Structure 1
């Protein structure tokens, strides 16, 4: 199942950037390991790596060198999850101490407080100190929609957590569903990625 989803995503990617549809049949996907997610994150990782490798292999084939392309789901997951290994120093925490999911009166909300200005905005709206306990207590007094709007209006970053059906009926969810997987602007004079004679804006 994991491999089938990766192949379907690769077909979408190929179609979006002008690669031949049979590209997906020229990439071998191996392994079934995947990152814990309700979305196909590992499969997307494998498909994008497969598309990039296949494009390079096609360029090499133009010079007479034929190379097979195989993508391991476990390795793709590792690259998407963590690819920096510090030498002689320690990575800072990935998340701010109060960033995360909190229960509001009517559901859950995610506060993104990694940026200092976002943290200040959230705390100003909540009117509390920067501890998880105080933030949780303050959030519990709000409805998730109202808190999301207030924090965003104050210059912060917050999002009510929605189930799939609620997201698909939300204006932003509907807008995203109409977007292609990859959007290529063929006429832009800005930076371009070239694949053979194809010019793709990135």
Structure 2
């Protein structure tokens, strides 16, 4: 009697994953909904996957009018293109979580990742702290040309990750305070940010979050 071998489980292309909302940002649009970083048998040690997204004229306009020029020729945006990674878990909203050996290129240019957190014990592999990634500076702000994201990572046994891209608006301290007053209930994350950023600019709100 011939027994059929079970087919390997293939993660869904778009798993029903929800990202945990960020207290300092409003999501304006979903540019790439949570997409599985499924492992390919042909790529044993390092996996690579490509994603494409395009901006509408309205989205380009929103990003451009939010631009602020900083000293040294740098630019800051209140409306941003935000890249997020998480575990492909559907039981609850997921926090930002990076796969191992993550490498990101946006339109062929390497995106610098946050530094590693100090390891809790000697011999424990260092892990980057998960946080949303602002890739606006590498995105083509044009509705005529699509954008490509290349993701390279090292697969982990028993873990599958998802990535997603959003158009978000960074919230200012006055707006956060106004929302808290309207709700009448203090969210611990909001309160911590506001207590650390009295009289600060909107960019410092981001610093208190990370």
TM-score range for the pair, normalised by the shorter chain length: under 0.3
Larger Rg: 1
Q: Is the helix fraction higher in 1 or 2?
A: 1
TM-score, structure 1 normalization: 0.22
Q: Is the strand fraction higher in 1 or 2?
A: 2
TM-score, structure 2 normalization: 0.22
Question: Higher relative contact order at CA 8 Å, sep ≥6: structure 1 or structure 2?
Answer: 2
